[in-house]
């Protein structure tokens, strides 16, 4: 994956939306019988309409459906859950096979699975490998190569 630069919030959130879609190619979820692949945004939505076109794509052979949620109720099952803050993550412990993604400082270190970090105007990834594996998800080595690993190493 190329290094991406983020100069303003519009570009930053286009990049983050692209990463969310690309996660569907580099992470494998257990079979769940769901007819759609659900991407949920919990709490404040920093993407606005920048992410809406993701519904024109598919993941794991299923159409992607976008949900904007104030709180988690168990429905729909979220395959990817983007929580903009640690508070939202605490509300949104999806459990099961939900990939939790966030952008606040220390997101991955606080139990989230993938955190976006803005370093030198570049969007970097921090991946909490133990949390991903505990939830039954498999992650591609290609994705691990471009990320900082939190809470473990990629060779275990």
pLDDT at 16: 95
Q: How far apart are CA 72 and CA 122, in angstroms?
A: 31
**pLDDT tens digit sequence for 50-65:** 999 999 999 989 999 9
Across 24-35, average pLDDT: 93
Residue 31: closest CA among 79, 80, 67 = 79
Residues 84-121 have pLDDT tens digits of 766 666 655 555 789 999 998 888 988 889 999 988 88
Q: Is the pTM of this model over 0.75?
A: yes
Domain ranges of the chain: 9-150
User: What is the torsion angle, in degrees rounded to the nearest 10, for the CA atoms of residue 137, residue 110, residue 83 and residue 103?
Assistant: -100
Q: What architecture is domain 9-150?
A: 3-Layer(aba) Sandwich (3.40)
- What's the mean pLDDT when you consider all of the chain? 86
């Amino acid at each position: 994956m190329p290094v991406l630069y983020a100069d303003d919030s519009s570009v930053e959130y286009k990049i983050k939306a692209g990463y969310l879609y690309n996660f569907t190619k580099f992470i494998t979820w257990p079979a769940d019988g769901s007819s759609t692949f659900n991407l949920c945004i919990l709490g404040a939505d920093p993407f606005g309409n920048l992410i809406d076109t993701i519904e024109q794509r598919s993941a794991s052979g299923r159409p992607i459906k976008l949900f904007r949620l104030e709180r988690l109720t168990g429905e729909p099952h979220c395959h990817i859950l983007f929580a903009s803050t640690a508070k939202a993550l605490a509300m949104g412990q999806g459990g099961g096979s939900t990939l939790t993604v966030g952008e606040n400082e220390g997101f991955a270190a606080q139990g989230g699975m993938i955190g976006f970090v803005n370093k030198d105007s570049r969007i970097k990834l921090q991946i909490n490998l133990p949390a991903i594996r505990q939830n039954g998800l498999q992650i591609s080595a290609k994705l691990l190569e471009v990320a900082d690993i939190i809470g473990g190493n990629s060779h275990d």
